[in-house]
Amino acid sequence: MTVQPVVAVVGGGQLARMLAEAASPLGVHLRVLAADGDEGAGEVVTDVVRGDPDDEVALAAVAEGADVVTFDHENVDHAALESLEAAGVVVRPSVATLRCSDKAHQRRTFAAAGLPVPDFVVLDGTEPVVAAARGFAAAHGGRVVVKASRGGYDGRGVWMLSGDELEAFVDEWTGAPLVLEPELDLVGEVAVLVARRPSGEVATWPVVETVQVGGMCDEVVLPSGLDASLEATALDVARRVAEVAGAVGVLAVELFLVATPNGPTVLVNEVAPRVHNSGHLTIDACATSQFEQHLRAVLDWPLGPTDPLVPAATMVNVVGGADDDPRQRQAQALARVPGARIHLYGKTSRPGRKIGHVTVVGADRDATREQARLAADLLAGS
């Protein structure tokens, strides 16, 4: 008798929800550790353990009997996870890979490996922070990007500062180490998803263009619009990042396109050691979705093909406002955009919160963007 594989997911948000939707046809049993405030997965997952992701007792409970533990988010206590690993629990990605979500650790690790990253300095108390900030700003035109090394997402934990405001900010800061980077001359941003399994197989999806609004990913477009040479460079950098990070499962690599006299060049912006917003369109546009692939990878199953099934696709996030539930507007959105693939997360709507996404596939890149934006705006009530 074949035993059904069990995958335990730490976190109960929309990523766990979409992992559950991919697990069902694979015959994989998904168990989720969800904190009291988590929303999304509880509507579709029957096996839910309630508890905080940094609680060793809760982690042990969700891991009991599971073939592998994986993640909906990376805000997990590393010491607690190391205790699981020491007890023989299979954790994928590993704690070592999860540490790459810390921007200070990531920048230092990638720079040491020769990967292309922006100039940076880490303010972690090893030297006078105000003097270090002042010197870095002076060397880069006076205005810099300040990033909290941990805890930031969707534009949070990032500040553009210069002069006296920079010095005052770092002098008063009491949180995680800060990473300072120059203000770059960006011509765009792209992302590459890489999947790796323990046995060594690697698969990448095509490069996608990402459009940010207020620091939050708003739109993802396939194809990327890059020329073949730059796209090949982006894919190569992403594969190298995954190797340096020791990734198992899906790793999202977000890349800056920076203007130079010889044309755009690629720099690593951030990585996420999990399924990611930039890969949601793979559900409807590619032979294997990022969610199915992540499950295959962490279980060390053969990876699926990543080829696009359509010439073009666009995903637009549905962002909450002060209005009512977007499910009340689904019929209206589908009437205007019959081809819209709507994915709502079962989350309470509030301003600035991702509560769903829409993907439109087709033959024309611009047409899919227009249609996906229309459907997302209708769902958001805007």
pLDDT at 126 over 80: no
Q: What is the mean pLDDT of residues 259-281?
A: 95
Predicted pLDDT of residue 267: 98
pTM for the model stands at 0.94
C-alpha distances in Å from residue 217, one per residue of 92, 277, 309, 318, 354: 25, 8, 23, 11, 10
Q: Residues 188, 311, 374, 349: is their CA dihedral positive or negative?
A: negative
% of residues, the chain, pLDDT over 90: 75
77-115 b/e with 16+ CB inside 10 Å = b?
A: eeebbeebeeeebbbbbbbebbbbbbbbbbbebbeeeeb
Predicted pLDDT of residue 341: 98
Average pLDDT taken over every residue of the chain: 93
pLDDT tens sequence across 38-77: 888 989 999 999 999 989 999 999 999 999 999 999 888 8
C-alpha distances in Å from residue 199, one per residue of 85, 194, 247: 19, 15, 12
Phi, psi for residue 363 in degrees, rounded to 5: -95, -15
Predicted confidence band of residue 348 (pLDDT cuts 50, 70, 90): confident
Cα separation of 37 and 20, whole Å?
Answer: 19
Q: What is the mean pLDDT of residues 301-312?
A: 98
| CATH code for the structural domain at 186-380 | 3.30.470.20
pLDDT at 2 over 60: no
The domain locations on the chain are 6-91, 119-182, 186-380
Predicted pLDDT of residue 1: 42
Cα separation of 203 and 84, whole Å?
Answer: 28
Predicted pLDDT of residue 253: 98
Predicted pLDDT of residue 151: 75
For residues 275 and 283, the answer to whether their CB atoms sit within 8 Å is: no
| CATH code for the structural domain at 119-182 | 3.30.1490.20
Cα separation of 346 and 326, whole Å?
Answer: 9
Predicted pLDDT of residue 372: 98
pLDDT tens sequence across 291-300: 999 999 999 9
Q: What is the mean pLDDT of residues 174-197?
A: 94
Bridge partners, 11 (sequence order)? none
Predicted pLDDT of residue 327: 85
- Give 264's DSSP letter: -
| CATH code for the structural domain at 6-91 | 3.40.50.20
pLDDT tens sequence across 350-369: 888 899 999 999 999 999 99
pLDDT at 36 over 90: no
What three-state secondary structure class fits 17?
helix
Token pair belonging to 79: 């010491």
pLDDT at 334 over 80: yes
* Those residues with Cβ within 8 angstroms of residue 180's Cβ, 6 or more apart along the chain or in another chain: 120, 121, 122, 123, 133, 136, 137, 144, 145, 146, 147
* Those residues with Cβ within 8 angstroms of residue 47's Cβ, 6 or more apart along the chain or in another chain: 29, 30, 31, 32
Predicted pLDDT of residue 234: 98
